């Protein structure tokens, strides 16, 4: 009887130990799977935000191009004769107000868009931290930062960007729009740009 009891006890012990190992393995596998899934979700979300920024950038460039066709000049809140980049200071309402035909100090009584054409519309954001057009009229990217909009106001078919942002300060396009991307820094590889850099 005593031998039987010892065997039983060992079996119970062994069974318990085995179950514990099994449990740990299962927990481990679940952990790995959860990690893989969350990495995939984060990556898919990032891709979706990048895609949305690409579409918005294309729309902004398209709206400026339509304005140019309509008025035979680029939208401008002043009579600037030098290339200007809007958005580096966190604000681009000066251009967006004109393209949306908003009556504001940037477009007083529709002076900068006298035919009152709405060249662009976008999601309205309830705060100045969120993606979309905020209460201040600035259009922000999916990471909540103003789109950068550079326009060739001296009409030499290239747009000058302040030095130190991109490898080349002059881009051979008339309108350059970009988002600083997920990292929020201008001139880093995650930027989303309306133009393609020429290969060297």
Q: For residues 155 and 168, what is the distance between their CA atoms, to the nearest angstrom? A: 19
Residues 76 to 95: which contact Ca ion by CB under 5 A?
83
Number of helical (H) and strand (E) elements in the chain, helices listed first: 2, 8
DSSP string, 79-94: ---S-EEESTTS--HH
Stretch of residues binding Ca ion (CB under 5 A), selected from 7-15, 55-63, 118-126, 153-161:
153-161
DSSP output for 93-112: HHHHHHHHT--STTSGGGTT
Binding span for Ca ion by CB under 5 A among 51-59, 62-70, 123-131, 178-186: 178-186
The torsion of the CA quartet 160, 165, 166, 170, rounded to 10 degrees, works out to 10
141 lies in the site for Ca ion, by CB under 5 A: no
| Sole binder of Ca ion in the list 99, 180, 192, 194 (CB under 5 A) | 180
Instruction: Name the segment binding Ca ion (CB under 5 A); options: 56-64, 70-78, 161-169, 184-192.
Output: 184-192
According to the binding rule CB under 5 A, does residue 142 interact with Ca ion? no
CA angle 192–177–119, rounded 5-degree value:
125
Binding segment (CB under 5 A) for Ca ion, from list 15-23, 99-107, 139-147, 181-189:
181-189
Residues 106-135 that bind Ca ion (CB under 5 A): none
97 touches Ca ion (CB under 5 A):
no
For residue 30, CA distances in Å to 21, 39, 42, 121 come to: 14, 14, 18, 45
Q: How far apart are CA 82 and CA 167, in angstroms?
A: 21
Q: Is 191 in the site for Ca ion (CB under 5 A)?
A: yes
Binding of Ca ion by 183 (CB under 5 A): yes
174: tokens are 């008339």
According to the binding rule CB under 5 A, does residue 101 interact with Ca ion? Answer: no
Contact between 45 and Ca ion (CB under 5 A)? Answer: no
Contact residues toward Ca ion (CB under 5 A) are 83, 152, 154, 156, 158, 180-181, 183, 185, 188, 190-191
């Amino acid at each position: 009887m005593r031998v039987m009891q010892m065997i039983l006890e060992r079996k119970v012990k062994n069974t318990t130990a085995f179950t514990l190992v099994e449990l740990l393995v299962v927990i481990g596998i679940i952990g790995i799977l959860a990690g893989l899934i969350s990495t995939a979700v984060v990556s898919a979300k990032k891709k979706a935000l990048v895609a949305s920024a690409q579409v918005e950038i294309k729309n902004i460039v398209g709206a400026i191009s339509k304005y140019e066709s309509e008025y035979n000049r680029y939208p401008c809140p002043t009579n600037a004769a030098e290339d200007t980049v809007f958005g580096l200071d966190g604000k681009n309402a000066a251009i967006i107000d004109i393209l949306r035909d908003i009556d504001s100090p940037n477009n007083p009584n529709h002076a900068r868009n006298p035919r009152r054409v709405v060249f662009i519309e976008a999601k309205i954001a309830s705060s100045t931290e969120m993606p979309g057009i905020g209460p201040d009229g600035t259009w922000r990217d999916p990471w909540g930062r103003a789109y950068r909009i550079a326009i060739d106001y001296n009409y030499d078919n290239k747009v000058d960007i302040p030095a130190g942002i991109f490898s080349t300060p002059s881009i051979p396009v008339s309108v350059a729009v970009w988002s600083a991307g997920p990292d929020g820094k201008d001139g880093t590889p995650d930027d989303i740009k309306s133009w393609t850099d020429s290969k060297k």
